[in-house]
Structure 1
């Protein structure tokens, strides 16, 4: 009878060197344990760095874990392991992915690796990175084995980086990049189809910058952004496009009466003076609003931009709702 162990799961680039060595050591130890057929050996193995060993005998789904794997899953060390109960800890999407990858790996005798989200018995959400190899006997899969690694902190850092890439650093609103993605492909990005687009320019902002300096100008932008976010709290997205330009995406259905009221509220809210360094600073707001009808995305932006221009031409500090887009006083500024 012959016996072989499938290829070790590959290690992703960019992992910390210590983590890579720990994972490789874990796989080597797991391979040695399996080849020697020393059942229960893994329970006596401890590894540093939140890495645990595991194996699953395929004929009866019997699990064997190192102490660290118990800790990662939030299960008391030495507790009886029953695979169906362990699988109940996985979030639905993670469990589905696990089942797909496991089935493919066993049919092709390939190793696999994936990240999954679990909820521990204590209610704590964690992210795990699982690496798996296959032990075969006479070419038939006999056992899966590999490592579990707690990567909750790494996932949180990546999520924070992703969020920061979509945020304007000064105001904390969504930035132009986030706006363009959501505006261009609302359904693909998980949002609702846009019901209306509101474009806002601050009136009198340049004078604050010129007279009182950029510190006062930045304070003005931050205060305006906070007020705009509060006024438009039901919006799909509130973004700073750059400079003193802002945009708001309203979900469907977008009622014209409600849109006019919202435009009026934006003008009033952004027009209230605010204190800064002993000064009372004041800006206004010109607002252009366009409802989504049968427009393509560029058409909707063009109509909102034309309405914004009309608001400025009518004396500023006002909101204009564009109905049909028949008149466009200037060339539209499409999102860059």
Structure 2
């Protein structure tokens, strides 16, 4: 799909003058269709999609803006040059088929080649090959009134393909067909797009038909309201410049110092700060806000109850606040120098020296050293 695009429109407008009244059908449409692309144009009645199709097929000229087909600006071409461009580069498939009623399928398909001056024998040979491509090799001599609606549309598709166009425009190709036949025609268009490399643009008001196209252009009120063309901007690399390995499931914002090791599967909330040298085994869960000093080691499964207060080098659970040298459990109020456990009432003035260890279950001091009263 590289090189010159099949067609390109830049700020294209189209205004019609009807009895002295200006009607702006298109109000500035820009799009690019690459070689081999398959796209659908859809929109409600009066949205401007048919006007856009006529312009893309070089059947009309834009009022303003630039429209290039096969790299040629159609506004700069004469009527004869436009006719030649349509004949050699564009194939048309219409909703109403537009087959010559008293002409065989073979001669209907060969008609575009007749305008090119291709000899009769060659054009009949190429027309027969095109009809075989769409599955109608057994209907070469049949006239349109001897064919079903689906077969007539296949003849029209063969006629569009016989000149080997680089762009195929299909205007409501399933509009006059039943559901099953419509699906068969769509299958055929998709196959031909893949096999011939021709760009395919179809205009439709049927959402299920449009959904089959990899790219969909929604036209509304004379503007290109939405285009599902892939965003060329590359997706961001989520692992770049982060401390996360693929598959660890860690949230951004976790800061880790040098020397910290963490195994995959550890869930840590954002905001945990750790000093160098700390190791944690898989399965240890800690809540945000835990602060730990260097050199502390905790194995998986060690549980500490809230309320155990220890001096430097001892581990404490989340929510524990410490003033300088003093340990306190969450929700414990104490005056300067007074140590108090959760739920234990003590009178002011009772002092304890640092170094007291207390059992979280018994509520008694263990190895008390210092002055003051020992609480129950």
Q: Into which bin does the TM-score normalised by the smaller protein fall?
A: under 0.3
More strand by share: 1
More helix by share: 1
Q: TM-score, normalised by structure 2?
A: 0.21
